[in-house]
Structure 1
Amino acid sequence: MMIDISHRIKVKCKENVVGALFADTRKLFYSFNKKEEWIQINPEMYTFICKHKVLIEKLNYYEWAKFLEKVNEENVTTKILNKIDESSKRNNLSVYRKILYDEFESRTCFYCGKQLKADDIHVDHFIPWSFIKDDKLWNLVLSCPKCNLNKKDKLPNIDFLTRIVDRNQTLLIDIYKTEMHNYQAKKLLNIYDWAKVNGYSEEWIPKLKA
């Protein structure tokens, strides 16, 4: 049943969507081949989308909410924007906590250097989850509770960027190949910059005791 529906959707998209959208966007977004069934995103457009991710996401949510309100009964669409925004959920990070704790003998907080206790470790998204909305090993670091709670949704100071790039190099080994799939240091640097222009301009640095 699902395979049949997917096939029909694909056929309709090939007939009515791919070419029409290609023309509507003045051939700027992508190129395509219906016969070979591939679509290639324009690299400049990909960069633009990543750079303005938050704004595009909000506009998309808004239009999606308007559509749902139009096609559903009023009682079904209560707080629809909140429901849509909750469609992305965080995963359980315990598996990554174990990987990072087992991999690094120092077992210290990535930010302040405090020694970590096995039963009191937080896993922090280096680039805030609210921007990246994904749980990738290359963006996760071990943190003490204080640093994790104080950092919240802020970007770490740029000095930490070099540190996480260096850290990730040690994870590019066979046993973590799946978790580090598609990781590139350049990609991480770009995402950091894109986050800054998307409202994450305040850099955070831990307050160390004198």
Structure 2
Amino acid sequence: MGWDLQLGELKEGYGTEDDIWKKLNYFFFDAKTTTTYKYGFFKALLENIYMTTPEGFMSYDHLFYDFTKIYWNLVVHHQLWQSNTKSRRSVIQGILEDAQVKYEVPKDWRFDRLPEAVQQSIVQQVKKNGKRYVIGAFYGDTDGVFYAFHLKDETLQMSLPVVQFLKKYQRLVTNLTNYQLAKFLEKYNEDFTQMLTRVEQVSQRASLEEFRRLLQTNTGDCCFYCGKTTRQTLHVDHFIPWDYVQSDRLWNFVLACPTCNTRKNNRVPAPQHLTALYAQNAKLQQLVRMDYFYAYSEQKLQELYQFATSNGYRVWE
């Protein structure tokens, strides 16, 4: 099973795409699943795939923040049961439901609306139990091919070929994960109306106001694309569409006038705008907290841009 492992080494010699697809096929279609933990964890891995260091290390705090956000939005916001038995809720489901009662949080709130101190308290509880139940289990289901880990040291090192694979096939793998998660939830929840839509949106924030404030303070009040000022409220736009990255990172945000934002829609901007985004991020890195740019590099942004276009996202001129 692997769930009770304290550490796991990375298997060598399994770096081909065929090897990785075989492990994913087992994970999606043959591995034993009693809760939604592994699907939520895989979604968090995918959200953090551009947050790995050059050596492949991934931050436990970033990883479990996103895991908690996903799970909170499933459990509290959508009130979906996460276990295959109605007689006992999963440990992490219990942590989140108890936290919602303790802090008197409205059930329609998404995780990012909670006060930061409350968020961090909940994340630490989830991380403690996620380390115990999730990391080893996912490691076992993928046969040690995806990452090495050490729970005590809180290290998780991704296989670099797997990182590149997940970047290359991110759209497809994300959709597969959402589909399998929705199928599981439909079995154990009476209300499965628009289940896939709900699963696809669990990573969305309630508000991007934090990023609007940072961008307006440090980059000005003009549209990133057309350069014009407007009396209308500028939109906070995902440069690479959210539909692809499904993650909110300051280095992927720009301010756009309503006209440009509407015309861009679900496309990637032309290459000259990518050059402008490099310049904006270089400026922001000197002005904001370092954690906003954890593991960021222009090379990673360029790679993300290229993979988005190869995944079918059209270019907006």
TM > 0.5 between the two? yes
TM range (shorter): 0.7 to 0.9
Match of 1:101 in 2: 216
SS class of match (2:247): coil
Aligned 8 A contact 1:32 1:39 in 2: yes
Distance 1:59 1:156 in 2: 27
Match of 1:76 among 184, 191, 200: 191
Distance 1:61 1:160, change over 3 A: same
Distance 1:98 1:37, change over 3 A: closer
Match of 2:300 among 187, 196, 203: 187
Match of 1:124 in 2: 237
Distance 2:219 2:126 in 1: 48
RMSD: 2.8
Once the 2 structures are TM-superposed, how far is the Cα of residue 94 of structure 1 from its aligned partner? 2.6
C-alpha distance after superposition, 1:137-168 (max 9, x if no partner): 21111212110111011000112111111111
Match of 2:71 in 1: none
Once the 2 structures are TM-superposed, how far is the Cα of residue 191 of structure 1 from its aligned partner? 1.0
Greater relative contact order (Cα < 8 A, sep 6+): 2
Q: Which amino acid aligns with 2:223?
A: C
Distance 1:109 1:4 in 2: 41
Distance 1:5 1:204 in 2: 40
Q: Which amino acid aligns with 1:48?
A: F
TM-score (norm 2): 0.54
Match of 1:136 in 2: 249
C-alpha distance after superposition, 1:30-72 (max 9, x if no partner): 2345775643210110111122111111111111122223334
Distance 1:125 1:91 in 2: 15
Share of identical aligned residues, percent? 33
- When structure 1 is superposed on structure 2, of 146-155 and 172-181 the one drifting more is 172-181
Q: Which amino acid aligns with 1:86?
A: Q
C-alpha distance after superposition, 1:84-116 (max 9, x if no partner): 1222223422332232223235x43211122x1
Once the 2 structures are TM-superposed, how far is the Cα of residue 8 of structure 1 from its aligned partner? 6.5
Distance 1:108 1:4 in 2: 42
Aligned 8 A contact 2:139 2:146 in 1: no
Match of 2:55 in 1: none
Structure 2 unmatched runs, 5+:
1-93, 96-123
Q: Which amino acid aligns with 2:256?
A: S
Q: Does 1:175 align with 2:288?
A: yes
SS class of match (1:39): strand
Q: Does 1:204 align with 2:313?
A: no
SS class of match (1:77): coil
Match of 2:78 in 1: none
Once the 2 structures are TM-superposed, how far is the Cα of residue 204 of structure 1 from its aligned partner? 0.3
Once the 2 structures are TM-superposed, how far is the Cα of residue 174 of structure 1 from its aligned partner? 4.8
Once the 2 structures are TM-superposed, how far is the Cα of residue 169 of structure 1 from its aligned partner? 0.5
Distance 2:238 2:302 in 1: 15
> 1:35-114, aligned counterparts within 5 Å?
38-72=155-189, 75-104=190-219, 107-114=221-228
Distance 2:280 2:226 in 1: 15
Aligned 8 A contact 2:237 2:256 in 1: yes
Distance 1:121 1:18, change over 3 A: closer
Aligned 8 A contact 1:122 1:148 in 2: yes
Once the 2 structures are TM-superposed, how far is the Cα of residue 118 of structure 1 from its aligned partner? 5.4
Aligned 8 A contact 2:203 2:246 in 1: yes
Larger Rg belongs to: 1
Distance 1:178 1:54 in 2: 26
Match of 2:141 in 1: 21
Distance 1:119 1:85, change over 3 A: same
Aligned 8 A contact 1:22 1:31 in 2: no
Distance 1:17 1:150, change over 3 A: same
- When structure 1 is superposed on structure 2, of 5-14 and 47-56 the one drifting more is 5-14
Distance 1:188 1:203 in 2: 16
